Amino acid sequence: MSYTKQVMEQVIKRNSGEPEFHQAVLEVLDSLEPVFEKNPQYVNAGILERIVEPERQIIFRVPWVDDQGKVQVNRGFRVQFNSAIGPYKGGLRFHPSVNVGIIKFLGFEQIFKNSLTGLPIGGGKGGSDFDPKGKSDGEIMRFCQSFMTELSKHIGADTDVPAGDIGVGGREIGYLFGQYKKLRNMFEAGVITGKGLTYGGSLVRTQATGYGLVYFMEEAIKAKGKSFDGATVVISGSGNVAIYAAEKAQQLGSTVVALSDSSGYIYDKNGINLDTVKQIKEVERKRISEYVKIHPSAEFFNSCDGIWSIPCDIALPSATQNELDGEAAKKLVANGCYAVGEGANMPATPDAHKVFLENNVIFAPGKAANAGGVATSALEMSQNSMRLSWTFDEVDARLKDIMINIYHNASAAAKEYGFEGNLIVGSNIAGFIKVADTMLAHGI
């Protein structure tokens, strides 16, 4: 049995009942086989055995009082996965599906993503099985305060720096930071990112993951002589990543014809009106189906995966993990889709990867294509350290540079190891080598 297969067996044995974590590790390990053949020093130092084991996992009780005066209890998580190249960094997800396996898959991916940005940040992730949907502002605040009361013991600007993810946006970051400030009696801006602009946030952070995804894809399709100008684009989700990916794609001359949420998708053949979507999702916090009341020529379908049967040139899955399977991938290919970029983390299943690779579809994995969010978080940390703020254009230009570099590094690594054009392998190898070399340098 090969070395990577032995390590994978151990991962499955030691982390039973965590299929998303197994899936994320398997994808990386499959890519690394040629790296170990060329670099036996990694095998001797047990880099792989170490990298699949989080440095620390914290699971805690989060009690809070709802609007009826009843005590509710949720479970909180923070997985501090790898600090070889910098403080742990990764978002917080509030969603009822959250469990330790999901946080570990996200934290594991984050190690390589953060390494790819070229910035000094380690990998971590956290969250809770709390469901923000339908909660009042007061309930959200009390939950965030209770969550931070425990989390504050484990984080710090040079230790571990959380940010947002599904269910955690500007409002939640504000409550979390406010509680941290009270508990510590100091204004430690660099302890969390995605902050509001009045208290240390960075311009472009809100847009960063979506814009970054489109910058990455622009570079990737340019290599095949294609562009966003005139392209038809389908994007799943209608949260932070999806909305700003749609905005940048539109700015580059594309027609974005579909968006979704967990209740279904909207199709507007004339092109989605993003002002309406922002009003519904960001301001009113309502369902995407509201869109068709304002734009009756658009249609709403109450299924999520049907979105991949809409003909398009470029697809950007930007909702959640495993939302695009092999069958959906076949439909995209049959309809002429030539590029797929993951805005979400691991939205395409292994079967879907196979279909895309076999059909020469340009496929950009999330750990490379959606790294713009965490990269801009790191730029927010830099501005906090310097106690100054860069302009929108300055941050945007840095973000674009970073995304273009990630594409070229991943592309070059794929070519060097004999997998030209395979950005999955290229991203995994390029992300891994920097962390592995640092772990070697640091000893065990």
Please give the positions annotated as active site: 125
**Minimum CB separation from ligand NDP for residue 405, in Å?**
17
Rg, Å, the chain Cα set = 21
x/- map, 305-324, ligand NDP, by CB under 6 A: -------------xxx----
Instruction: Choose between 256 and 436: whose C-beta lies nearer to ligand NDP.
Output: 256
Q: Mask: binding to ligand NDP, 353-382, rule CB under 6 A, as x and -?
A: -----------------x--x---------
User: Judged by CB, which is closer to ligand NDP: 4, or 260?
Assistant: 260
Is 193 a residue that touches ligand NDP (CB under 6 A)?
no
Number of other residues whose CB lies within 10 A of the CB of residue 411: 21
41 vs 136, which CB is nearer to ligand NDP? 136
Does residue 235 touch ligand NDP according to CB under 6 A?
no
Residue closer to ligand NDP, measured from CB, 101 or 343? 343
Q: Using the rule CB under 6 A, give the single segment among 153-161, 332-340, 341-349, 417-425 that binds ligand NDP.
A: 341-349
Task: Report the distance separating Cα 280 and Cα 285, nearest Å.
Answer: 6
Q: Are 220 and 407 a contacting pair, CB within 8 Å?
A: yes
User: How near is the Cβ of 194 to ligand NDP at its closest, in Å?
Assistant: 7
The per-type count for the chain, helices as H runs and strands as E runs, is: 17, 12
* Contact flag: residue 261 with ligand NDP (CB under 6 A): yes
Question: For ligand NDP, which is the closer residue by CB, 76 or 90?
Answer: 90
Query: Residue 282: how many CB atoms within 10 A of its CB?
Result: 15
Exposure on the CB side of residue 20, measured as CA atoms within 13 A: 21
Instruction: Tell me which residue has its CB nearest to ligand NDP.
Output: 239
Residue 275 and residue 252 in contact, taking contact as beta carbons nearer than 8 Å: no
- Work out how close the CB of 439 gets to ligand NDP at its nearest, in angstroms, rounded to a whole number: 24
Least spacing, CB of residue 363 vs ligand NDP, in Å: 17
Sign of torsion over alpha carbons 342, 348, 354, 359: negative
In the beta sheet, which residues pair with residue 125?
Answer: 79
Q: Which of 165, 218, 313, 380 binds ligand NDP (CB under 6 A)?
A: 165
**CB closer to ligand NDP out of 125 and 142:** 125
SS3 of 39-57: CHHHHHCCHHHHHCCCCEE
Q: Which stretch binds ligand NDP (CB under 6 A): 27-35, 79-87, 237-245, 408-416?
A: 237-245
Contact predicate 408/220, CB 8 Å: no
**Among the candidate windows 139-147, 195-203, 235-243, 308-316, which touches ligand NDP by CB under 6 A?**
235-243
Please tell me whether residue 345 binds ligand NDP under the rule CB under 6 A. yes
Q: How far is CA 83 from CA 154, 186, 203, 406, in A?
A: 14, 24, 27, 21
| Residue 336: Cβ-neighbour burial (10 angstroms; 0-12, 13-18, 19+) | exposed
Which residue number, 94 or 432, has a Cβ lying nearer to ligand NDP? 94
State in angstroms the smallest separation of the CB of 296 from ligand NDP. 22
**Is residue 101 near ligand NDP by the rule CB under 6 A?**
no
Comparison of 166 and 220: residue with beta carbon closer to ligand NDP: 166
Beta carbon of residue 132, minimum distance to ligand NDP (angstroms, whole number): 9
Among 209, 232, 383, 427, binds ligand NDP (CB under 6 A): 209
**Residue 201 touching ligand NDP (CB under 6 A):** no
What would the x/- binding string for ligand NDP be over residues 114 to 143, using CB under 6 A? ------------------------------
Residues counted in the chain: 444
Q: How many residues bind ligand NDP (CB under 6 A)?
A: 23
Binding status of residue 28 toward ligand NDP by CB under 6 A: no
Residues in Cβ contact with 369 at an 8 Å cutoff, skipping those fewer than 6 apart: 212, 213, 216, 217, 341, 342, 343
End-to-end CA distance of the chain: 26
Phi, psi of 160 (to 5 degrees): -160, 125
Angle between helices 205-222 and 372-386 (to 10 degrees): 130
| Strand, coil or helix: 383 | helix
Q: Among residues 174, 343, 365, 426, which is the contact residue for ligand NDP, using CB under 6 A?
A: 343
Is the alpha carbon torsion for 218, 421, 34, 53 positive or negative? Answer: positive
**What separation in angstroms does the CA of 89 have from each of 52, 92, 109, 238, 286?**
17, 10, 11, 24, 30
* Residue numbers at the binding site for ligand NDP (CB under 6 A): 164-167, 209, 237-242, 261-263, 304, 318-320, 343-345, 370, 373
